[in-house]
Structures are given as C-alpha cells and as structure tokens.
C-alpha cells in the first residue's frame, strides 16, 4: 500500500552561505532511500492528473512505479517514451505549475516530488548505464534539419529521429544546448547534464554541427533545397534594453551578455578560461523574471558586496518562479520593489557609478491582470552601483527572417504560424521562443514535440 502521509522527500541542498560562493549544483539528487520513500507516496491514481498536466505528457505514475519496483532502467524508459531530456526537465521544469500542481496529494500531504524523482531516475539510470536511447524506426529516407540546439530543437530532432528520419541539428554557437548552455547557470543545470542529454540524442543517430548560423553561414532557402523539412527552433536571442540615458556606460550588461560570459564562456574561471567578467562592489539587476534571478545569483557568486534586484512592481507580480526568488533571497540577494530606473549615472570615464530610480505605487490592473506601476512624483533616489544588469526580456533574433523574405513574421518579430502550426513556407515549421518571444524550457520542448508530429505527417508518416 502507498504511504501518502510520509513526509515529502525534498532531498538536500548546499547551504546558502556556502553555495553563494560556488557554481556547483544547489540541489543534490535524492538518495536511493529518499527516492524509494518518495515513490511510495504516489497513489498511482487512475486519472493521473499529473500526467495530464504535463505539457509533454510524461508517463508519471508508470515511471514512479518502476522506481518503486527498483527497476531504474524501466523508469527511465517510461519517461523517455515522451521526453528525451529527463535529466534537464527534472531540474528546470516549473513542476509546481504543471505535474506537482495537479497532484491529488498536494492539499493534504504535499505533492509527490515528481521533479526530484525524474531527476533521480535520469541521473541514476545514466550512472548505471541503463539509460537507453530509444531505437529509431526503420529509415524513412527523408531528411530533416533542425535549426538551433536548444530544448525545442533537441526535442524535435530526437522525436523525428525516433520516427526514422535522417536528422541534422545546426547550432550557431560553439557548444550545444542553446539557452540551456548560455542562459541557465551551472548551479541549476550542470554542464555535464547538458552534455549527456545531447550525447543521448547523438547516440540515436542525430547529426550535430556547431558554428552554423542559418541566415548567415547558409540561407534558409538553401536548407529547403537540401532537406525535406526544416524546423526553426532558433530561440529568442535579441536582448531588450531600457532606452534610458547612460545605457552604454561601461559596466552595463544585458542579462544575455552577463549570463553568456558566465555560463557559456565560463568567465568565472578566468584567467584559466580566456573570457573576463567584472562586477565591482555593488550590482543592480533590473527585472523580475527567471533571467533576473539567474543573473543576480551568478553575480552573487562573483562575491561583490551587494546584489540588488530592482523591479517595477511588487513581489506578487514578479514573473520568476517562486523557488528561484526564494533561492536568491537565501543567498543574500536584496530586493527593491516598486522602482523604475530613470538614468544610469556615470563618471568622467563613462563608467557606471549609480542608478537613479523613481518610486512607484501600484495602480489599476493591466490587460494581463497585473497591477500597473504608477510613478510617485518627487520620489527620485540614487542607488550606487558598479555593475548594472538589464534583465527585462528579449525578442526573437531576426537573422533568419531578415534573410528569408518570404517567411512571415509578426510585428513583434516572432515567426507567424497558421492555424495548422505551419509557417508561411511549405515544409518549414517553427517553435519555442522564435514563436513565443520568451517562454520556458518546457514549453519550448512541447513545441518541438508538436512540430515533430506535424513534420511526420507532412512527410507522409503517421
């Protein structure tokens, strides 16, 4: 009999005052003992609301049952029936919004730690050598190319290969993973985990190339001639800036630049690595999303005197995951709510010395129901800073659309899809941030999987 009333096993984490000085993973994997206790809490309800709430439909009760039975290889295979990136999903999915948010135990005993179990399954199965890439179907003779190697393209490529197509992934940077690699810090997602997940997709026979920027190195139209179908999963990748005076001062980073220096280029290991980074004494991060939390927590690990996240509205309206906000607070990141940045103050050498803000109060809700910030006259103040990180969002990178005149984009620069989910070009599909403008890893993966099904149908499969 399951034991739902057993306390939820959350595993252990590095203590905040220790982890804020290193880039090692914050949360540790569940131990075998913890995993078995946790698996035993699952009721295996027939309606499986968790699975229904998962955008990629992971067979959650089935994999947990296999964990409970001690068959970790089978558990991994159950997950991989619908998701080929379990070690990543187990770590970065917002489970509280999806599977765990719908667990029937949630109200009374606390949801089953599905994310923790998924991560345990992937890590343990991989360590034991029983995580097996699925065997692809017989070759279809069709060639498909996936642009980008982020979560959306990886999911699409793996699914297409499973269906028996000849699949190639083209990445613009020098390492695979897209936003997983340049955006998400190693203390949330170790680089080794990304490498291993990519290796699994490679083991299925998907071909990968770095250093190909579609639109520059090769045109989309050339790819259309060479391949039977194209998937564009090239992500967001165009940072939004504030448009306030002083934004080009030395010491002002976009979140993309700051995170790329640290995560992709490993600037925190400088001079062992060659890309530098500099934070000074006081860091201000502007924004309230997950990138702002990641940037602030990365900045903290470079050990300045203070890191402050400044956000226009109040804590309630912040789009970041609650857990990320809590982690940041535990690591001594400070928050300044209800402030609007007005001007970056700089010295005679064009270096940042501070930021002038105006205080806000909350007004009427906007179209999304979030209360709008309203400036309070005469409330200006200056906060000293050596480094300012602008984390207010991004838009799709226009490299492909600019060099493909027939590819329709919306006013916001995202690739336009028709009601069937196709772009304006036959055989060209798109998903992830290039159609959403900035979403989550999980939704990007879902788009990739959905597109793979559409591409299958387009290529005459089932």
Partner 1 sequence: MQENEILVKEQLNEVVMKFVIYKPLVARAARAGQFVILRGRDGGERVPVTLVDWDEKAGTITVIIQSIGKSTFMFNSLKQGDCFLNILGPLGTAVEMKNYGTVAVIGGGVGIAEVYPIAKALKAIGNKVISILGARTKSLLILEEQMRAVSDETICCTDDGSYGQKGMVTDALKACVNSGEKIAAGFVIGPIPMMKFTSKLMVELGIEPYASLNPIMLDGTGMCGGCRVSVEGKVRFACVDGPMFPARTIDFDELIRRTGEYKLQEKTAVEKFEKDHQCKLGLH
In whole angstroms, what is the distance from residue 18 CA to residue 301 CA? 10
Least distance (Å) from partner 1 to the CB of residue 187?
19
Cβ closer to partner 1: 275 or 379? Answer: 275
Q: How far apart are CA 413 and CA 358, in angstroms?
A: 31
Is residue 232 within 8 Å of residue 425, measured between CB atoms?
no
CB of 170 to partner 1, least distance (A): 11
* Tokens 């501070």 belong to residue: 354
Tell me how far, at minimum, the Cβ of 458 lies from partner 1, in Å. 27
As a whole number of angstroms, the distance between CA 170 and CA 158 comes to 14
Of 257 and 336, nearer to partner 1 (C-beta) is 257
Listing DSSP states for 122-161 in one string gives HHHHHHTT---PPPPPSP-S-EEEEE--SHHHHHHHHHHH
Cβ atoms of 288 and 337 within 8 Å: the answer is: no
> b/e string for 105-141 if b means 16 or more Cβ within 10 A?
bbeebbbbbbbbbbbbbbbbbbeeeebebbebeeebe
CB of 369 vs partner 1, minimal distance in Å: 31
Q: At closest approach, how far in Å is the CB of 398 from partner 1?
A: 7
Whole-number minimum distance, CB 457 to partner 1, in Å? 31
Q: What are phi and psi of 332, to 5 degrees?
A: 75, 15
Extract the tokens encoding 217.
């190195």
What residue ranges bind partner 1 (CB under 8 A)?
172-174, 182, 210-213, 216-218, 237-239, 241, 243, 247-248, 250-251, 253-254, 256-257, 260-261, 264-266, 269-276, 278, 349-351, 397-399
Nearer residue to partner 1 within complex by CB, 239 or 341: 239
Q: Which one-letter DSSP state was computed for residue 55?
A: T
- Residue 344, H or E segment: strand 339-346
C-beta of 339 vs 392, nearer to partner 1: 392
Smallest distance, partner 1 to C-beta of residue 445, A: 20
Q: Which of 211/326 has CB closer to partner 1?
A: 211
The partner residues of 335 in beta bridges, in order of sequence, read 309
User: What is the SS3 assignment for 427?
Assistant: coil
- Strand (E) or helix (H) holding 387: strand 387-390
Residue 389 and residue 311: Cα distance in Å, rounded? Answer: 12
Q: Which is nearer to partner 1, 23 or 253 (CB)?
A: 253
Specify the residue, 90 or 246, whose C-beta has the smaller distance to partner 1: 246
Minimum CB–partner distance for residue 242 and partner 1 (Å): 10
Beta bridge partners of 396: 237
- Quick one: 104 or 213, whose CB is closer to partner 1? 213
Q: Which is nearer to partner 1, 140 or 260 (CB)?
A: 260
Residues in the chain: 462
State the minimum distance, in angstroms, from the CB of residue 334 to partner 1. 25
């Amino acid at each position: 009999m399951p034991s739902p009333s057993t306390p939820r096993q959350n595993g252990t984490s590095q203590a905040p005052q220790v982890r804020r000085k290193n880039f090692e993973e914050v949360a540790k994997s569940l131990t075998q003992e913890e995993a078995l206790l946790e698996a035993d809490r699952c009721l295996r309800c027939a309606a499986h609301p968790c699975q229904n709430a998962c955008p990629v439909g992971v067979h959650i009760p089935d994999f947990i049952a296999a964990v409970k039975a001690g068959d970790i290889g089978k558990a991994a295979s159950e997950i991989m029936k619908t998701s080929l990136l379990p070690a990543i999903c187990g770590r970065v999915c917002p489970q509280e919004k999806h599977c765990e948010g719908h667990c029937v135990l949630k109200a009374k005993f606390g949801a089953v730690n599905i994310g923790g179990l998924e991560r345990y399954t992937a890590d343990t199965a991989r360590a034991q050598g029983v995580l097996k890439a699925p065997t692809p179907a017989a070759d279809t003779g069709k060639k498909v190319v996936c642009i980008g190697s982020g979560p959306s393209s990886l999911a699409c490529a793996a699914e297409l290969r499973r269906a028996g197509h000849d699949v190639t992934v083209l990445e613009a940077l020098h390492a695979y993973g897209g936003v997983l690699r340049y955006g998400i810090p190693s203390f949330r997602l170790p680089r080794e985990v990304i490498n291993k997940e990519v290796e699994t997709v490679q083991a299925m026979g998907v071909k990968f190339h770095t250093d190909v920027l579609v639109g520059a190195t090769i045109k989309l139209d050339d790819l259309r001639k060479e391949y039977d179908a194209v998937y564009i999963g090239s992500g967001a990748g165009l940072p939004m800036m504030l448009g306030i005076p002083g934004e080009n001062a030395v010491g002002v980073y976009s979140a993309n630049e700051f995170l790329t220096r640290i995560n992709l280029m490993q600037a925190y290991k400088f001079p062992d690595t060659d890309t530098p980074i500099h934070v000074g004494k006081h860091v201000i991060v502007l924004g309230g999303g997950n990138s702002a939390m990641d940037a602030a927590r990365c900045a903290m690990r470079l050990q300045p005197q203070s890191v402050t996240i400044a956000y226009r509205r109040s804590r309630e309206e912040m789009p970041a995951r609650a857990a990320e906000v809590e982690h940041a607070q535990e690591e001594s990141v400070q928050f300044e709510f209800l402030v609007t940045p007005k001007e970056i103050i700089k010295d005679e050498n064009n270096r940042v010395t501070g930021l002038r803000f105006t205080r806000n109060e909350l007004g009427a809700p906007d179209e999304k129901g979030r209360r709008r910030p309203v400036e309070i006259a005469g409330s200006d103040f200056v906060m000293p800073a050596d480094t300012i990180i602008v984390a207010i969002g991004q838009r799709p990178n226009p490299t492909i659309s600019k060099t493909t005149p027939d590819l329709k984009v919306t006013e916001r620069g995202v690739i336009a899809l028709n009601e069937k989910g196709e772009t304006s070009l036959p055989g060209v599909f798109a998903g992830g941030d290039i159609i959403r403008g900035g979403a989550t890893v999980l939704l990007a993966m879902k788009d990739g999987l959905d597109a793979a099904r559409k591409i299958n149908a387009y290529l005459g499969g089932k």
